[in-house]
């Protein structure tokens, strides 16, 4: 029996390979995920271990959640550490935001550059790639990427703002590599001597002190000695402990990446399982006579079952092996790609193939393949020996069984119920989304079970046009698509999964885009926003707004101010208080109450704050102000947090100044005068903002495009990752079609004998594949739109639902094309077959 199976496999190498390919791709993706993340983790570990080798002991302040500012290690503690016997050297490390000015005189980037201290001697961990370390107080080094994008070269003078906003000029003496530090890679970094860094950042102490032991000293003993010298407020670790800790932290980050990639890997594997199930089902159906012959000459049912399973095991092992190789390639390719993109991941580590990866790849490949082959194998055992003697294979007929109908109904009802529960869940948010996802999964299973029943009507529906468009080949194709609904269903549903998810994502992004854009339009009708690069705690001098009002290009200026204050009866909790700018262009919407009656003595609250305080419109709150004591304010309106830029507690402008003094602006919104060209207005606004280097001018179009770029990026990443599942399902269509073509050799020959030309035969098969693709896409699009809508209902604000017709149409067209593409080879083979041979073979 074993020999028969293996001989059969050898005889059909191509079929074996095609079948394996689906699993190979899935396993390859999963293995590739592990190879990539393992390699990254090994790289991090190597980097941290190398760094830690320079350090005997590291000291960090203990986390204090109560403290206002992050705790630091004061200079005198450093002095005490230096005096501990056995300490050869101790260096304090610190960092903080110091905006680097670009060549245009404005702060570079949207976030301030981070200043870091560069210690001297053996404890230094900064890798200078060209030039020198900073040695004099006027020396600075830049990270390579910032230097490149801001066009600074060694020898240039760079200007950096200190913590008070004053300009400091430095000579750029070297460039360094931020390595695996994602924060520094994101903000950009400038390195100073420790003293200069302290002066620039205004830091009161150090974030970390690194200690080098004297030669031959024991790190553990040194750690205890240092700990004893500085007291209990600090965490003291050996270098290797520090390395372990950093590696563990980075592993947590890598594990998110692993999880996300694995999710897509599992989707791909599910699709592959459908493809395998279908393939084995068809193979069994086609080999009915072979099975019957084996049964005739004495093979037991168990042996038949075993032979099919054995075949699946061979396929599984082959494809898992190939998948591992593919995974290695994918992992290595992804690493090379990350390197090329200068991503903050460690490069240079050898590609890591762990036993875990190998075992997982083989186990997943085996379980999915053999699991998918179980049902077909059982079907094979039901072949009666007498079937060997029948000359013509019975046409399979399909009737919707009662069990199928009941089961499908149950799943569909459960899916609908759970989804509705998710939509109507109180508060919405993440939990509701998970409930809806579960509902979607249940519903999809229902569709999966029901699909053979709906396949025929769908094929007739979708086939209406091809029937009329493609003449005889068209109608024959529609008939063929309808003839085996079970097979057609499994084939198309594999594609449906990919299309559903793609549609879902595109609906979500389109809806988010439309909703946010509408909110921006309605609540935030400004052309430019000026904000502080150094963050919400920094202020823009009011002079800027005043200067803007003088500009002939500027129509209106809105100033937003912020202060913190406590409420009577709410303990020590501090609330953000903001002004309500008086401007006709500013018209936020109230959830309850109205801004029309917003006069001195009244207040507007964000919905959440009103709820947590247990107040509603008409009630009062007592605000403790800095200059006017505690004042009682009547609530005039509540509003949605996301609908405007207002502070949680908003009071009229005049009162804000009276209560908190004339504070500088937190943000300034500018509208160009009507009729002024956008580029003219922009130049005018920027010229006025030029004296304030950290005042960032952003246009609402820029905000929008930044935000749309992010959405597009998400759509592309998801599309790319789902592409694998879609590719596998297209393979499935090709596989099903080529097996069907093989099955219908006689029919094709008959049609050719009756006068069907080769192109017509090819067209017939292409149209059949086109139909399969379109049906799969139609189901997927329907599910995607419905569940995309459901998912968006969990958002806590009103949405503008959008199903992007262009993208959805594109999915439909691409699915049809994918089907036609899948039909290319099978159709070619069918049309090339000799009529005489095809008629003669049985």
Partner 1 sequence: MIRRAARPSVAAMTITTDVRHAVVAKGLTKIYGQGDAAVHALRGVDVSFATGAFTAIMGPSGSGKSTLMHCLAGLDTVTEGSVTVGDTEITRLSDKQLTLLRRERVGFVFQAFNLLPTLTAEQNIRLPLEIAGRQADQVLFDRVIDTVGLRDRLSHKPSELSGGQQQRVAVARALISKPQVIFADEPTGNLDSRSGTEVLAFLRHSVRELGQTIVMVTHDPGAASYADRVIFLRDGLMVSELIEPTPQTVLDTLLKLEA
Helical pair 758-792 and 471-483, crossing angle rounded to 10 deg: 60
Indicate whether 472 belongs to the interface with partner 1 (CB under 8 A).
yes
Q: Which lies closer to partner 1 via its Cβ, residue 455 or residue 777?
A: 455
Least gap, CB of 506 to partner 1 (angstroms) = 37
Indicate whether 751 belongs to the interface with partner 1 (CB under 8 A).
yes
Helix (H, G, I), strand (E, B) or coil at 825: helix
> Binder to partner 1 among 187, 352, 480, 533 (CB under 8 A)?
480
Least gap, CB of 758 to partner 1 (angstroms) = 6
Q: Which lies closer to partner 1 via its Cβ, residue 393 or residue 414?
A: 393
Indicate whether 424 belongs to the interface with partner 1 (CB under 8 A).
no
Indicate whether 760 belongs to the interface with partner 1 (CB under 8 A).
yes
Indicate whether 833 belongs to the interface with partner 1 (CB under 8 A).
no
Indicate whether 825 belongs to the interface with partner 1 (CB under 8 A).
no
Yes or no: say if 397 and 484 are a contact pair by the CB < 8 Å rule.
no
Yes or no: say if 357 and 60 are a contact pair by the CB < 8 Å rule.
no
Q: Which lies closer to partner 1 via its Cβ, residue 471 or residue 535?
A: 471
Indicate whether 121 belongs to the interface with partner 1 (CB under 8 A).
no
At 304, give phi and psi (nearest 5°).
-65, -50
Least gap, CB of 764 to partner 1 (angstroms) = 11
CA dist., res. 778 & res. 780, Å (int): 5
Least gap, CB of 801 to partner 1 (angstroms) = 42
Indicate whether 762 belongs to the interface with partner 1 (CB under 8 A).
no
Helix (H, G, I), strand (E, B) or coil at 206: strand
Q: Which lies closer to partner 1 via its Cβ, residue 69 or residue 395?
A: 395
Indicate whether 144 belongs to the interface with partner 1 (CB under 8 A).
no
> Binder to partner 1 among 476, 725, 778, 818 (CB under 8 A)?
476
Indicate whether 750 belongs to the interface with partner 1 (CB under 8 A).
yes
Indicate whether 389 belongs to the interface with partner 1 (CB under 8 A).
no
Number of residues that bind partner 1 (CB under 8 A): 30
CA dist., res. 710 & res. 447, Å (int): 33
**In what order do the strands lie in the sheet containing 234-238?**
87-93, 208-213, 57-61, 234-238
Among the listed ranges 101-109, 134-142, 290-298, 470-478, the one in contact with partner 1 (CB under 8 A) is: 470-478
Among the listed ranges 451-459, 572-580, 633-641, 833-841, the one in contact with partner 1 (CB under 8 A) is: 833-841
Q: Which of 62, 67, 69, 65 is nearest to 537 (CA)?
A: 69
**Cα 144 from chain centroid?**
28
CA dist., res. 412 & res. 395, Å (int): 30
Q: Which lies closer to partner 1 via its Cβ, residue 54 or residue 746?
A: 746
> Binder to partner 1 among 367, 434, 753, 809 (CB under 8 A)?
753
Indicate whether 457 belongs to the interface with partner 1 (CB under 8 A).
no
Least gap, CB of 7 to partner 1 (angstroms) = 24
> Binder to partner 1 among 542, 758, 828, 829 (CB under 8 A)?
758
CA dist., res. 185 & res. 200, Å (int): 20
Question: What part of residues 393-422 is at the interface with partner 1 (CB under 8 A)?
Answer: 394-395, 397
Q: Which lies closer to partner 1 via its Cβ, residue 68 or residue 392?
A: 392
Indicate whether 642 belongs to the interface with partner 1 (CB under 8 A).
no
> Binder to partner 1 among 47, 482, 487, 763 (CB under 8 A)?
482
Q: What is the β-pairing status of strands 167-177 and 127-131?
A: antiparallel
Q: Which lies closer to partner 1 via its Cβ, residue 749 or residue 792?
A: 749
CA dist., res. 284 & res. 306, Å (int): 13
Least gap, CB of 427 to partner 1 (angstroms) = 54
CA dist., res. 812 & res. 498, Å (int): 12
Radius of gyration of the chain from Cα atoms?
Answer: 35
Count CA within 13 A, CB hemisphere, residue 790. Answer: 29
Yes or no: say if 283 and 213 are a contact pair by the CB < 8 Å rule.
no
CA dist., res. 586 & res. 604, Å (int): 15
Which two three-digit tokens encode residue 318? 């082959």
| CB atoms near residue 477 (< 10 Å) | 26
Cα dihedral: 258, 261, 263, 267 (round 10): -150
Place of tokens 């012959």: 293
Interface positions with partner 1 (CB under 8 A): 391-392, 394-395, 397, 471-472, 476, 479-480, 482-483, 746-747, 749-758, 760, 834-836, 839, 842
């Amino acid at each position: 029996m074993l020999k028969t199976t293996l001989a059969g496999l050898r005889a059909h190498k191509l079929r074996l390979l095609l079948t394996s390919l689906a699993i190979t791709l899935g396993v390859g993706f999963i293995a590739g995920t592990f190879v990539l993340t393992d390699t990254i983790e090994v790289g991090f570990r190597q980097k941290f271990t190398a760094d830690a080798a320079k350090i005997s002991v590291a000291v960090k302040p203990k986390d204090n959640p109560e403290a206002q500012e992050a705790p630091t290690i004061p200079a005198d503690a450093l002095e005490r550490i230096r005096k501990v016997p056995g300490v050869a050297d101790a260096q304090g490390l610190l960092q903080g935001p110091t905006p680097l000015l670009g060549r245009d005189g404005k702060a570079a980037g949207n976030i301030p550059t981070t200043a870091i201290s560069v210690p001297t001697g053996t404890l230094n961990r900064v890798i200078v790639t060209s030039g020198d370390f900073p040695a004099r107080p006027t020396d600075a080094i830049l990270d390579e990427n910032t230097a490149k994008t801001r066009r600074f070269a060694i020898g240039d003078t760079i200007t950096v703002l200190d913590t008070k906003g004053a300009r400091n000029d430095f000579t750029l003496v070297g460039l360094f590599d931020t390595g695996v530090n994602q924060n520094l890679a994101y903000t950009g970094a400038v390195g100073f001597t420790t003293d200069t860094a302290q002066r620039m950042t205004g830091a009161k102490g150090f974030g970390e002190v690194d200690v080098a032991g004297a030669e031959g000293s024991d790190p553990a003993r040194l750690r205890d000695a240092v700990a004893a010298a500085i007291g209990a407020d600090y965490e003291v670790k050996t270098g290797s402990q520090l390395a372990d800790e950093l590696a563990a932290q980075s592993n947590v980050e890598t594990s998110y990446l692993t999880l996300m990639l694995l999710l897509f890997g599992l989707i791909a594997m599910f699709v592959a399982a459908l493809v395998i199930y279908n393939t084995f089902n068809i193979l069994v159906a086609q080999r009915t006579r072979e099975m019957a012959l084996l049964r005739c000459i004495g093979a037991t049912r168990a042996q038949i079952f075993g032979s099919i399973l054995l075949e699946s095991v061979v396929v599984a092992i082959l494809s898992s092996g190939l998948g591992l190789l593919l995974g290695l390639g994918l992992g290595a390719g992804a690493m090379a790609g990350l390197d090329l993109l200068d991503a903050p991941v460690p490069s240079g580590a050898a590609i890591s193939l762990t036993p875990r990866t190998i075992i997982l790849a083989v186990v997943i490949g085996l379980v999915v393949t053999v699991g998918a082959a179980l049902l077909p194998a059982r079907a094979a055992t039901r072949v009666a020996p007498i079937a060997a003697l029948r000359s013509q294979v019975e046409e399979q007929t399909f009737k919707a069984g009662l069990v199928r109908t009941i089961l499908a109904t149950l799943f569909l009802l459960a899916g609908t119920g759970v989804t509705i529960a998710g939509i109507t869940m109180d508060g919405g948010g993440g939990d509701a989304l998970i409930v809806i996802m579960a509902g979607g999964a249940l519903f999809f299973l229902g569709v999966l079970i029901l699909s053979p029943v709906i396949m025929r009507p769908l094929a007739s529906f979708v086939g209406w046009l091809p029937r009329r468009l493609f003449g005889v080949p068209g109608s024959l194709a529609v008939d063929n698509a309808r003839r085996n609904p079970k097979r057609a269903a499994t084939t198309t549903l594999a594609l449906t999964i990919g299309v559903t998810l793609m549609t879902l994502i595109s609906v979500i992004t389109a809806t988010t885009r439309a909703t946010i854009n509408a909110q921006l339009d309605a609540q935030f009708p400004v052309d430019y926003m000026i904000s502080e690069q150094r963050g919400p705690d920094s202020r823009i001098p009011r002079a800027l707004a005043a200067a803007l009002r003088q500009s002939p290009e500027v129509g209106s200026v809105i100033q937003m101010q912020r202060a913190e204050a406590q409420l009577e009866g709410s303990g020590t909790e501090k609330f953000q208080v903001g002004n309500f700018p008086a401007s006709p262009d500013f018209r936020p919407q109230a959830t309850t109450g109205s801004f029309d009656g917003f006069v001195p003595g009244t207040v507007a609250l964000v919905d959440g704050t009103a709820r947590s305080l247990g107040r509603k419109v008409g009630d009062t709150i007592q605000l403790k102000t800095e200059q006017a004591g505690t004042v009682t304010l009547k609530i005039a309106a509540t509003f949605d947090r996301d609908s405007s830029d207002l502070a949680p507690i908003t009071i009229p402008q005049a009162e804000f100044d009276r209560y908190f003094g004339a504070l500088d602006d937190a943000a300034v919104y500018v509208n160009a005068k009507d009729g002024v060209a956008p580029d003219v207005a922009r130049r005018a606004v920027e010229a006025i903002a030029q004296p304030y280097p950290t005042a960032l001018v952003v246009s609402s179009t820029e905000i929008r495009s930044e935000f749309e770029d992010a959405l597009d990026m998400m759509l592309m990443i998801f599309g790319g990752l789902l592409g694998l599942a879609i590719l596998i399902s297209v393979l499935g269509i090709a596989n099903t079609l080529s097996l069907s073509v093989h099955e219908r050799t006689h029919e094709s020959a008959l049609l050719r004998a009756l006068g069907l030309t080769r192109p017509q035969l090819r067209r017939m098969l292409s149209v059949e594949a086109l139909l399969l693709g379109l049906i799969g896409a139609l189901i997927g699009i329907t599910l995607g739109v419905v569940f995309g809508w459901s998912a968006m209902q969990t958002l806590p604000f009103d949405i503008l639902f959008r199903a992007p017709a262009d993208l959805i149409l594109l999915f439909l067209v691409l699915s049809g094309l994918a089907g036609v593409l899948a039909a290319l080879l099978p159709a070619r083979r069918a049309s090339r077959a000799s009529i005489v041979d095809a008629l003669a073979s049985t």
